[in-house]
Structures are given as structure tokens and as C-alpha cells.
Chain A
Amino acid sequence: MVIDSQPRQALVRRFTGLARSTPGRLSLIVVVLVVASLASGWLTTWSVNRQERALEDLATRSEPLAHAAQEVYRALQDADATAASAFLSGGLEPSQLRERYEADIAQAQAALSVATASSPDLTATLAAQLPVYTGLIETARSNNRQGFPVGAAYLREASGLMRTQLLPAAQELYRAETDRVARAQDEANFPVVPVLVALAFVVGLVLIQRYLTRKTNRLLNVGLLVATGAAALSLLWVTTVSVLVMNDVADSRDASEKVDVLAQARIATLTARGEETLTLVARGAGQSYEKNFVEVSGRLEGLLERAKALESTEAVDQALREFRQWQQVHQRIREADDAGQYNDAVALIGNPHFDSLDQSLVRSIGEARQDFSDEVAVARSSLAGTAVGVLVLALISAAGSTMGLWQRLKEYR
């Protein structure tokens, strides 16, 4: 230990000696400035890269996955409601209902395979139970086709499986994916630490120039001026771009909120439709379905009002109008059914308002998703070139500092 401490003491003495003499001090400053400019540049580049990655993730992964998860839920819900409607119609099921059911299952399967790539655990229940569900529906169909009431029992079992297992799993998947979008938006926030470090570096450069002016009686040092300019430019660039990005990300948050509200509205629409149909399938024993219809309709109205409050587009207004008309027709369906005019009630259920409402919602969701995509694209384009630019400016800053101080050092030789 004693032997060891000797060279260390010597090193310390050398440094303090260096720091005591002016040329020594200048050499130290060169080292510090070069390290600081490179470190600050690296930190800023890293944070800009992080923002870029977060935005890319938003545009190409999180948002498409959230949409896929929403599609899984929507398609499953619609498949179940459609299967019930096909049963209700009596006789051979109408081909357009069968096609709709098949399209829903295909869509659910496709959306599910997209989602499985990112969250295999969350989709395991869905992947395992979807074939079981379709199997039950086909058993229901083949029994129904032979005129056996046990077909209706298989349909009820399938619907129970959908409500108790598949839909809750799809809901969980959707929540997980929308949370991922929110996390990616958080990642693209303002880079506080790198900006503060860059600011400190600029201030440091200014202080060093004042110190040099006092020591050497020279007003200007071109090298250091260039270094300060480059550092200040880099700071300005990163701050401006970050503010722009932050603004765009905030707008994209509004757009995702709109998408979320509208997606929930669409799911509520389909749920209400399913309950409305099942009330008639149950033929008088459907009080619980009607209760659910009223409850889901209330929720749906709230969601549509919220969507209108967020942004009153033409499609959202249209959706609200169709919703009100649908509710009126529903009243007439209930009145007809309660008055024993079952066939009139079944005829009324084929009204166009439900489909129009669904289409308006599809349009609104499409518009809101486009808004989101636009905001993220703008944010990404504002970041373009920033990482390289900041790195080049950091190198210029380092080179300027070295050259500027080298001139002064030479005067002491």
C-alpha cells in the first residue's frame, strides 16, 4: 500500500501543478471541453433516437396492434350477434347473415394472428377457444337444419362461451394494447436532462471565454466562438424540435382518445344489437336481455356524446342521429312483442338504423385513426436529421474548442 501510494501522490502533484500554471490550466480546459461537448452531443443524439424509436413504434406497431385488438373484439361480438339473428329468422338462414358471420370469424382470426405476434400470452385463451366456439355454432346449425330444438341449446352454449371467456379475453387484449400506445406516447416526451446538459455546456463555454478574455486581454477567440455557436445552435434545434414533437404527440393523444371512445361506442352498438336480437329469440323469457339492452344503450349514448364533445364531425353527428332513430324503432319492437305481435317485432328488427349507425362509427374511427397517423408522421418528419445534425454540431464544437485554446497555448511556448 505504501509503495502503491507513491505514484498516486506523484500524479496528483502533477495535476495540481498543471492547474497552478496557466498553460497547464488551459490544457486541462481543452480536455474538459472536448469531453463535455462530445458527452452532451452523445446524450442529445441518444434522446432524439429514443424519441424517433418511440414514434416509429407508435406508427408501425402500437397503434396497428391496438386496432387489431379492437377488431378481434368487434368481430367476435358481431359474429355472436349475427349467429343469433340467423337463428331468429326461421327456416334456412339468410345467406347474407351467414356471409356476415363467416366474414366476422375470418376477420377475428386475421386480427388475432396480428395480435398474437406481440402478446402471445394474452391471445392464448382466444386462440384456444375460438375454434371451440365455431364448432358449437356449426353443431347448432346442423341440428337446426334438421328441425331439432337442441340446436338452440348449442347456440346458447356458444353464446355463453363467447360472453364468459372470449369477449373478456379480447377486452383484456385491447386494454393491454391501448396501454402500450400510451406508453409509447410517454417515451416521446420532452428530453429534459439532455437539454439541461446542453444548456450547461453553452453557459460553460461563455464563462470560459470571459475567463480567457481576462487572462489574455484578447476580446475574441474564433475557435471558441465557433464552438459556442455550434453548441447554441444544437440546443436551439433540439429544444424547438422537441417542443414541436411534444405538441404533435399531445395531438396524437387526443386522436387516440377519440379512437378509443369511438371503438367502445362501436362495441356497445354491437352488444346492444345482440341483446335486442336475443330478447326476441328468448320469446318472452328475455327480460334479462332487455335489461342489458337498456343498460348498454345508456352507455352507448354517453360514449357518442363524449365523442361529439371531443370533436363534432359530420360522421359523429350522423351516428348520434341514427342512434336516436334506432332507439325509437326499438321501442316499437318492444311494444309489438309485448302486445303479442311477434312476427311484426321480428320484421321491425331488420331496420336500417343499426347498420347506418355502425357504418357512421366505422367512418368516424377511420377519420380519427388518420388524424393520429398524420400527427405521428408530422412529429417524425420534424425529428428527421436531428440526430445527425446534433452529432455534427457536437464535433464542430469539440474541434472549435480545441483549436481556440491551442492558439492560446502556443503563445506560452
Chain B
Amino acid sequence: MRRLALAAVLLLGACSAGPAPSEVVPRSAAAPQPANASTVSAAPSSAAGAPSCDATASLRPGPLPQAGQMPAGSTMAKIAQRGRLIAGVDQNSFLMGFRNSFTGEIEGFDVDVARQIAKAVFGDEKKVQFKVVTSAERIPMLQSGAVDVVVRTMTITCDRLEDVDFSQVYYQAGQRVLVRRNSGITGVEGLADRRVCVASGSTSLGNVVNRAKTTVSVPNWTDCLVMLQQGQTDAISTDDTILAGLAAQDPYTEVVGARFTDESYGVGVPKGQEDLVRFVNGVLERMRTDGTWSGIYGRWLTPLGPAPAPPVARYRD
């Protein structure tokens, strides 16, 4: 009888269940992304009514004036009077325009081109103030007169020629794709079902937006590398020059596929300053002939292969 009662008590005890043991649940939060990252669904509104022109034909230079003796009343004379050239450059594109974190100085291929222009005006390549501009800021900064020239991996296009002027081509780049080494992507064809990152306001954006499943845009190219390293994007697609700089910062990435566009870099000059365009073209001509161009290439761009011949100048006079 007593045993029965005990069994009953035990049974009852089993029935009156306590609350389920508590669980520790972490607060779920989205992984951080670069500031101002956004998904792009359509190419910028240029494609439809794109003007056609002979984009890479620039203005023929006259004889280059002596440094320190700019023709009176010219744009260069105004720059000389100020005492320094103001150049819009990048500080985020390794090899082309970047901040040397040991010295704090801005360096790179584009930066050396800007220094050559300063040297032609002043005879001193140090008389240049660098203003960092993002891809999207290049044209507004030229239009507002905040910078004299923009030397920042800027592709010459008919679209842009509506708003600014360009020098002759100083570098011939082409768009390719940067991926993680084990991604299985072998070229731009492999992007159809992938997420691709590009910088906003770049020509690369329009070239890739219809070939990728999703396109994400960020302010700077290094922001794209951050997203690739954080696994938030599968590939980065832009000019091989920029990609080489990104690949040099991460040995687990590689540049794949052939060039699928031609990107002709020119020095951006405010619209209507023909004298400055001709002057810059003269500087570029000199760099090509006296070996400076090859020297600068060798200093920065050897990861892209041995120095090619400098681009051939084309003029519309």
C-alpha cells in the first residue's frame, strides 16, 4: 500500500513539469558593410541617348613653354600665380593613387602624372596640392573649379566630354574581373548568377550591371575589396589597373578573364580650358618621348606585366 502511494507521488511529480530549460539567444544583427553601399538595378541613364563622338582624339599641343614662364592670361599662368597645381586624385587605388601609410604621402601612377604637370608649370614637381576625389565627385569637382585637373583612372567617354574636356590618352586600360582564387569564376561570363561590386559613378558600373545577377555600388574601390573579403560579394569588376592594385593587397584573390572593354584614361580638365588641354598634351607627349612614361610605369605597374609602348596620341587639332 505504501509502495503504491510512493509510486503515485512519483508519477504526480513527473506530471507537474517545470518550465523548459532556458536558452541563450544572441541578438541577431546584420554584418557591417561599407558606408553607403547600395544595390544597383539599372545602368546610369546614359546608355540610351549616348552621344557618339571620336572620344580619344584630343587637341594638338603647341611647343611647351619653359617652366615658370607661362603665357600671360593663360589658365596655366593663373595656376602659376597661385603657386601650386590643385590635382584631384585617389587615395584608395593601390598603385594608381593611394596613401602610403608609412609616410602619409599620396603616391601612384596617376599621382606621378600629376606631378609631371606641376613640374612643367613650376619646374618643381612638389608644387602640387592633392585633393582626394571619389569616382562620382570627379566631374562636379572639375565643374566647380575646386581642382585644376583630375588624374584619377578617368576613362574618356563621349558622355563625359559633354561636361568636361580631356587630354590625350595617357594609359590604355581594360575592364576585367577580380575573384577569390577558388571561386570557379573564369571571366565576365561567369558573373550571370553572382553578386558583383563596383564603385559608384565609374564607367565599370554601366559595363557590368547587365551581366551580373546583382550589382552593389560603394564609394571607393577598396570598399569593394572589403566586401569581397567579408564574403558579401563574389567578384569585383573594373579596369585591370585598379584590379591589379586590389589583388596586390590580398594574395587570395586573382584577376581572371580577358579584357572585355577598352578604357582610355585621360587627364580631366574643366570644360572650355583649351589652353590647359594643349599644355597637358604637350607634357604627356614629352613624357612619352623622353622615357618618363616608361619610368613611371616601371615604378608602379609592373604587376600588370612589362611596360608596353605608351598609348599613341590622336589629335583632332
A interface residues, Cβ below 8 angstroms from B: 87-91, 124-125, 127-129, 132, 136, 143-154, 156-161, 164-165, 282-285, 340, 342, 346
Contact = CB atoms under 8 A, between A and B. Distances in A.
B104 A346 contact: yes
Given A128-B27, A149-B93, A284 B130 contact: yes
B225 A147 contact: no
Contact of B129 (A91, A161, A164, A342): A342
Contact of A152 (B26, B99, B105): B99
Given A90-B102, A156-B34, A156-B35, A149 B91 contact: yes
Nearest to A342: B129
A338 to B, nearest CB: 9
B32 A161 contact: yes
A146 B92 CA distance: 14
Nearest to A133: B32
A87 B105 CA distance: 13
Contacts of B279: none
16 contacts: A88-B104, A91-B102, A143-B249, A147-B100, A148-B249, A149-B92, A150-B94, A150-B222, A150-B229, A150-B246, A152-B91, A153-B92, A158-B32, A160-B34, A164-B35, A340-B84
Interface in B95-111: 98-106
A136 B33 CA distance: 11
Contacts of B33: 157
A341 to B, nearest CB: 8
B29 interface: yes
A109 to B, nearest CB: 17
Given A160-B35, A161-B32, A340-B86, A285 B104 contact: no
Query: How many interface residues does chain B have, given as a range?
Result: 35 or more
A148 B229 CA distance: 14
Nearest to B128: A340
Nearest to B103: A90
B243 interface: no
Interface stretch (B41-49, B132-140, B180-188): B132-140
Given A152-B91, A157-B33, A285 B131 contact: yes
B34 A153 contact: yes
A147 B98 CA distance: 10
B203 interface: no
Contacts of A132: 29, 31-32
A89 B104 CA distance: 7
A129 to B, nearest CB: 6
Nearest to B100: A147
A149 B102 contact: no
Nearest to A282: B132
Q: 5 tightest A-B contacts by CB?
A: A90-B104, A340-B129, A284-B131, A160-B35, A153-B222
B220 interface: yes
Contacts of A152: 91-92, 99, 222
A344 B140 CA distance: 27
Contacts of A91: 101-104
Contact of A153 (B29, B132, B226): B226
A148 B94 contact: yes
A153 B32 contact: no
A283 B132 contact: yes
A298 B312 CA distance: 55
Given A149-B222, A150-B249, A285 B34 contact: no
Given A160-B34, A161-B32, A150 B27 contact: no
A354 B137 CA distance: 32
A146 B102 CA distance: 9
Interface string B9-33: 0000000000000000011010111
A151 B225 CA distance: 10
Contacts of A158: 32
A124 B24 CA distance: 12
B223 interface: yes
Contacts of A346: 104
